[in-house]
Structure 1
């Protein structure tokens, strides 16, 4: 297992100490002096070495997020309340008053919890939450203005460049995550990578059905031709392929093989090859489950669904209830659908005026939140849509009683508070 660590040069000792607790992991170091160098350094790492996971802070992530493959496990290092508490105690050890103080990068909730736990005066604590659009100059100006107003002695800063500009005339304490926080997040990332690797080795099945043969090719000959085509397809070289009789061919392999052959469930070139070389239309289905029997059953269901499409296509059905498709002969957009309550979900989607795929993705977001509220902006980010689209979606859900207002949050000092909502899609489906 190879994990990349993207860190500022001044932080390497702390990360080396945390990384010593991991066995069987090779660490690839990306060490930068200035934030602007992050993009090029991470690009070099991804080009020269395949990494299984990447751990980096908020600033490096903002600088290189466009380079990161969508399937690469990434952990964004965030300082915890313990780290902020230790920063306050460092100030006391230096003889400074704990407040007034100006803090950057920590989220407002963490600051509030620590301030209350240490019984400090919240009015004497100024906080600037992380914003990737803020420049170092703006952060420095914020701290200077805050200390001039409150008469504070020092700042707690996670921004190395800002701290360097302030430390000549203002007391600065770095809020770098401590070894315990780094170690915990590094271990969590390693477990995610391990889980992903284990998932790739799950057993899977594929069912290929001949949908239509040409005028000079009957179904038996078409099936034999399809089987020979698959046997000679490099992507299926390590798979077990057998003739099922009638008009089908079945393929057994690890999930990872099918993911590679379909470009991570996006397209299946074998569909166009069958049409071009054999003159037949093929529908394919893949199933991923706990046993060969369940995989085959799911693959048959997926193939039956693919047959309903007007063009050669393929679907995947997992035992978790996820459906991915349609996959075409070449890359195209795919829909992710959760089918635990298939009929209820489709009926509810029709009533709300949304597609079943969109509503199922919202249901998946709701499950991941475990009852927590979410802002329209955060919902839009999870769905990969724009903020205005997220607000319109919330309004549509509200009109159908599928969200409840749960208060508001002030993310930034400037601007209007963001309304928070709790999704109620699961409860609506359970009532049906």
Structure 2
């Protein structure tokens, strides 16, 4: 497992200390001296090394978010109330008055909680929550105005560029999250990456069937030729391959192996190779399920469906109901289906700019919600995608009128409330 850490040069020692309790993980350090360097350095990391996850603060994330792959697990560091309380105690230990103080980047709710817990005067605490559209100059101007208005003597800033500009004017405390916060968020990201890997390592099966081309076809000879072809296919090097019957071969492997062999369920070159080198038409089916037996059963159903195509092709059937296919032998365009959803959903998917499979899964989630609203994070979890991808999907659906804003909810005491949405895909299908 490889995790990238995007950090300011002054923070490396703290992150190294936090990472000492994490074994089995290779860390790729992206160290910058100024915020403007972040995008270039992250782009270089993604070009030279495949990373399984990325940990970075809110400022670096805003600088490079456009570069990050949609399926890359990302953790954005958030300082907790404990970190702010410790910063205030450090100020007190240095003989500084706890207030007036000017604070940036912390969420307003977190600041309010700490102020109440420490029985401080809220009027003496100025807070500027992080906004990726806000420049360093604007943040510095906020602190200057707050200090002039309240007579404050120091600033707590999580932005190194802001702290650098203010150090000659006033006292500044850095707001880097403490070791416990860093360690917890790094561990959480590692577990999320591991969970994603585990889903890719679900058990899967493939069934390859020799087409019935007439009485003169020697099925036994064709099957042996197909078996040898698959055994000599590099992509199936780690798979278990054995005879199924006179017409078929079974391949058992992890889901990730089949995803690689089919370019994420788009094409299967082995079908073309069988036709060109052996002169036989082969249909393939893949099944992904909870057990070997269920995988083979689903793969048999998928192979039967692939046999109905005029040209060599393959299908995938998952135990959750997703059907993908037909996969071509040469990597040509592929249609995606979710059960039998009909022409109306296909047309709407084209208008929205999503695959029919994705829109069908969204329609299924809408039915399961039974009119209840859902947050982007919960939607992302049900679809098996990242939270940022879930938010982008919500925006895309919003542009097409397929979601309605339905208030918000505060899941945790810390952090911003999560906006809720009501899916409106069913009515749109009825109108199309």
TM-score, length of structure 2 as denominator length: 0.74
Match status 1:229 vs 2:236: no
Distance 1:157 1:37 in 2: 20
Instruction: Report the secondary structure of 2:205's partner residue.
Output: strand
Gap change, CA 1:312 and 1:111, over 3 Å in 2: farther
Deviations 1:287-334 (A, max 9, x none): 233322121122223334555667654443444555555544427678
Match status 1:421 vs 2:431: no
Aligned position for 1:294: 294
Runs of at least 5 residues in structure 1 that lack an aligned partner in the other structure: 399-403, 410-417
Instruction: Report the secondary structure of 1:296's partner residue.
Output: helix
CA apart distance, 1:236: 1.4
Gap change, CA 1:304 and 1:121, over 3 Å in 2: farther
Instruction: Report the secondary structure of 2:23's partner residue.
Output: coil
Runs of at least 5 residues in structure 2 that lack an aligned partner in the other structure: 350-355, 381-386, 411-416, 428-432
Distance 2:334 2:103 in 1: 43
Gap change, CA 1:104 and 1:282, over 3 Å in 2: farther
Distance 2:175 2:26 in 1: 27
Instruction: Report the secondary structure of 1:18's partner residue.
Output: helix
Instruction: Report the secondary structure of 1:54's partner residue.
Output: strand
CA apart distance, 1:281: 5.5
The number of aligned residues is: 402
CA apart distance, 1:26: 3.4
Match status 1:203 vs 2:203: yes
Distance 1:381 1:194 in 2: 19
Distance 2:198 2:389 in 1: 28
Does the Cα contact within 8 Å between 2:288 and 2:318 map onto a contact in 1? yes
Aligned position for 2:398: 391
Instruction: Report the secondary structure of 1:405's partner residue.
Output: strand
Gap change, CA 1:64 and 1:273, over 3 Å in 2: farther
CA apart distance, 1:248: 3.5
Distance 2:143 2:213 in 1: 73
CA apart distance, 1:11: 0.8
Distance 1:74 1:373 in 2: 18
Q: 1:382 aligns with which of 362, 381, 390?
A: 390
Gap change, CA 1:255 and 1:374, over 3 Å in 2: closer
Aligned position for 1:32: 32
Distance 1:316 1:168 in 2: 64
Distance 1:106 1:125 in 2: 12
Distance 2:4 2:116 in 1: 36
Gap change, CA 1:135 and 1:211, over 3 Å in 2: farther
Match status 1:130 vs 2:127: no
CA apart distance, 1:139: 2.4
Describe how 1:314-353 pairs up with structure 2 within 5 A: 314-320=314-320, 323-325=323-325, 327-328=327-328, 329-330=330-331
Deviations 1:257-291 (A, max 9, x none): 22321234443333444455566655433223332
Does the Cα contact within 8 Å between 2:3 and 2:25 map onto a contact in 1? yes
Gap change, CA 1:267 and 1:73, over 3 Å in 2: farther
CA apart distance, 1:83: 1.5
Cα RMSD of the aligned pairs, angstroms, is 4.4
Instruction: Report the secondary structure of 1:104's partner residue.
Output: strand
Aligned position for 1:414: none
Distance 2:265 2:93 in 1: 56
Aligned position for 1:412: none
Match status 1:358 vs 2:359: yes
